Amino acid sequence: MALAIALIPVTAVSAQKITPGSTCKTMNQKVVYQNKTYTCTKSGKKLIWNKGVVLKKPTPTPTPTPTSTPNKATPTMSAGVKAALDNLAQFPKSKETPQALIYYFGPNAEKDISDQIIKNAEVTMKFFVDFYQDSKPYPIFYGSEKDVDWIIAEWKKLGYADAIGSKKFEDSVSNLSRRAAQTNNFMIGSDNRLPQTPMILAGLRSAILNSNLQMNIDHHVVHGIQGRITGGNDGRLGTWAREGGAVFYGWAVLDKSPAVDEIYRKFGRSDYASERRSQSNPVGPWTAPKINLLNFNESQWLDTLKVLEGNGIYDDRIYCDLELCQLNYTTGPLLYERLVGEYGHQKVMDWWYEMRTTTDWKVAFEKVFKLNVNDWYKQSAIPYLMKEYQAWK
């Protein structure tokens, strides 16, 4: 039987104390209270809280002994990177998160992958607690490649088809089914057509574990958060603004994530520096083919950034489908790094929130940062990109 779990702070459930045998409302709901995880179970005709399970204390990750040989994968931190990370280190400021997470794990979902999803999704939500407050649980779907039909059936049960109309719903189903057909690959994403912008992970175990699982989880939970902060207008963000934001904050959350489980240990400990180093190679596999960013002058960079804003609109979303658009995932996060380093994380969240009042992301940008985006490109972003890519060497 498939499993749907809601992990909700006790303050979101009741002002009263949780005690074994007291009544609850939602079957299988889990609540953390006074160092125990309580589950809502059925006893006769009533729903009651069980005795609870004591939370295990996390095992500290041992600090590696320094050696005389520096790690070549970790670059020296530039002043720009340090400025961004120093600002991010101030967050979150709230001690509690009101946000609930609800998980829909398919009949063939693997427990170790499910556990990793729960860990990383919780950390991501906690990071955004100062800006992301919604009473509706954030939905996450996960199953094996055999669970695609089950996921679609769950969407229908949750009323997604009625909520968005048959056309948009069929577009979502078609996208999921198309990606499912790539049996040597896997699917992970966040569909902003659907209510609450759920995270979706489905595919072969081997394919999932040959990817950066933690980064992909963080990245797509951030997409869902973008959707809620912008009031559902995240699809109207310029494409570097949408994808670059998810990658950048995915890097940032990795620094706050729990120790990597055995299923992921072969990739090493992921953190901001290692992910940035891997994905920002100016001539590497993450860069659009046949492009050497080290050769770009100011004019070429300006033309490139204009492309990365998006080259079309479909289904009320801006998209970018040119070869150059791969840079949304590599150059895009460096643009966010510059924004956070200059203006701070608070201002960036203000920009996303401003999308509630206008669907033009450039208008929202200028209102919050007091600078036209083209002028920001020329005065700040392009010099920063040129310097950081040169430093990558």
Give the integer Cα–Cα distance in Å for 302 and 375: 10
User: 42 and 167 share a domain?
Assistant: no
User: What's the domain count of the chain?
Assistant: 3
CA atoms within 13 A on the CB side of 2: 18
Give the integer Cα–Cα distance in Å for 33 and 28: 15
In a domain, 45, yes or no: yes
User: 309 and 210 share a domain?
Assistant: no
pLDDT for 281: 87
In a domain, 148, yes or no: yes
In a domain, 369, yes or no: yes
In a domain, 237, yes or no: no
Give the integer Cα–Cα distance in Å for 347 and 168: 33
User: 192 and 307 share a domain?
Assistant: no
In a domain, 20, yes or no: yes
User: 110 and 210 share a domain?
Assistant: yes
The domain boundary, picked from 204, 229, 254, lies at 229
pLDDT for 104: 96
Tokens of 311: 């080259």
Instruction: Provide the residue range defining the domain that includes 204.
Output: 88-229
Contact 266, 276 (CB under 8 A): no
User: 209 and 103 share a domain?
Assistant: yes
User: 150 and 49 share a domain?
Assistant: no
In a domain, 59, yes or no: no
pLDDT for 10: 42
User: 368 and 288 share a domain?
Assistant: yes
Whole-number Cα distances in Å, 144 to 141, 188, 217, 325: 10, 11, 15, 30
Give the integer Cα–Cα distance in Å for 118 and 218: 11
pLDDT for 305: 97
| Closest by CA position to 240, among listed 138, 174, 338, 378 | 338
| Closest by CA position to 249, among listed 349, 166, 320 | 349
User: 276 and 206 share a domain?
Assistant: no
User: 295 and 163 share a domain?
Assistant: no
In a domain, 112, yes or no: yes
User: 156 and 276 share a domain?
Assistant: no
| Closest by CA position to 153, among listed 137, 175, 169 | 169
Question: Please, which residues have CB within 8 angstroms of residue 289's CB and are 6 or more apart in sequence?
Answer: 323
User: 16 and 104 share a domain?
Assistant: no
Burial category of 103 from C-beta neighbours within 10 Å (exposed 0-12, middle 13-18, buried 19 and up): buried
Give the integer Cα–Cα distance in Å for 314 and 319: 7
Q: Specify the pTM.
A: 0.81
pLDDT for 148: 93
In a domain, 104, yes or no: yes
| Sign of the alpha-carbon torsion through 214, 216, 219, 223 | negative
User: 95 and 219 share a domain?
Assistant: yes
Mean pLDDT by 10 residues, the chain (393 residues): 54 55 78 73 85 62 36 64 95 80 94 90 91 84 93 95 92 86 76 90 84 87 93 94 97 78 51 86 76 94 96 87 91 98 98 96 98 98 96 82
